[in-house]
Amino acid sequence: MLTLRWGSATDVGRVRNLNEDSVLAVPGLFVVADGMGGHAAGEVASRLAVEEFARLAERTPVRAEDLTETVRLANEHILSAGAERDDQLGMGTTLTGVGVVGAERGEQLAVFNVGDSRVYRLAGGRLEQLTVDHSAVQELVDAGRLSAQAARSHPRRNVVTRSLGSDPGPAPDLWLVDPAAGDRYLVCSDGLTGELEDPAIAELLATNPDPQAAADQLVVRALAAGGNDNVTVVVLDVLEVVAAEESLRQTATMPVPDGATAVLPSGELSLPPTQPLAT
């Protein structure tokens, strides 16, 4: 059982007239989609993607394969919508996020990604990028033909090699991560990482204990650094991790509070959601 706390923020930036980013931050599922600049109706594509994940969030428990299937459904939805309207034909979006998924040894965090939006983890004072960009410059970096620093200003830095709205549909990258109390996760569009380098992001995450304050400050700093793109962030804190066997022992002796569901056959207690939420 995990106890989580989170905050989110988004801004159109200082250059764009429209915010093509969409964000979902609900119990157990945290997603950022970045409608692709230069494509038709990018804001529609990103909204359709997060709407598909919002439907998934209503189900419990969620499995890792459910996330992959939802990516497939979101891609189909975007393609269908584009086929129905000429002004939406060719629209696309990146997608990245963190979901709480069930596992035999307890709940885990599934990190998934399509495109160049990112998920980071701050643990033990160290910031680590968990996702790998699906982009033209990342392929050059991987091939040893371009440094990571040079990639930040490369003319093809905004060219993604995998996105929703494509046929055939993209396969998402997905990693299962064991959560640890005290870890902080950042889900963000490239409007943040295009303006702030990792050391600045790490400092803001480390010096703002409240996740909502951290999210707000990241957006403020991205705007101050230029705000050349829409910027969207979700900051997610793991407050407590209770092992599956310990959760069962606690549940066995826990009284059922008013408004709660009785103890289930599995031994789990279903409680009304609170914030922070124990999922």
Could you tell me what percent of the chain has a pLDDT over 70? 81
- Going by C-alpha positions, the residue among 50, 56, 48, 35 that lies closest to residue 79 is 48
Which two tokens mark 255? 């009284």
What pLDDT, in 10s, does the model give residues 48-76? Answer: 999 999 999 998 889 999 999 999 999 99
Four-residue CA torsion sign, 272, 7, 10, 39: negative
Residue 92's pLDDT is: 95
Q: Strands across the sheet with 21-26, in order?
A: 21-26, 29-34, 95-101, 108-114, 173-177
- Mean pLDDT, the chain, whole residue set: 85
Report which listed range, 55-59, 145-149, 153-157, 274-278, is most confident.
Answer: 55-59
**Is the link from the previous residue into 61 a cis peptide, with omega within 30 of 0?**
yes
Residues near 26 by beta carbon (within 8 Å), at least 6 away in sequence: 54, 57
Instruction: Report the pLDDT value the prediction gives residue 259, as an integer from 0 to 100.
Output: 33
What length is written for the chain?
279
What's the CA gap between 193 and 239, in Å, rounded? 26
Token pair of 107 as six digits: 């709940």
pLDDT of the residue at 148: 78
3-state secondary structure the chain: CEEEEEEEEEECCCCCCCCCEEEEEECCEEEEEEECCCCCCHHHHHHHHHHHHHHHHCCCCCCHHHHHHHHHHHHHHHHHHHHHCHHHCCCCECEEEEEEECCCCCCEEEEEEECCCEEEEEECCEEEECCCCCEHHHHHHHCCCCCHHHHCCCCCCCCECCCECCCCCCCCEEEEECCCCCCEEEEECHHHHCCCCHHHHHHHHHHCCCHHHHHHHHHHHHHHCCCCCCEEEEEEEEEEECCHHHHHHHHHHCCCCCCCCCCCCCCCCCCCCCCCEEC
pTM for the model stands at 0.84
**Residue predicted with more confidence, 226 or 136:** 226
pLDDT at 84: 86
User: What's the whole-number mean pLDDT along residues 209-228?
Assistant: 98
**What tokens appear for 104 in the block?**
């035999």
Residues 177, 66: Cα–Cα separation, whole Å: 16
Least confident of 100-109, 114-123, 142-151, 207-216: 142-151
Structural domains of the chain ordered from first start: 2-248 (3.60.40.10)
Q: When comparing pLDDT for 89 and 190, which is higher?
A: 190
* pLDDT confidence of residue 279: 31
Give the pLDDT score at 144. Answer: 80
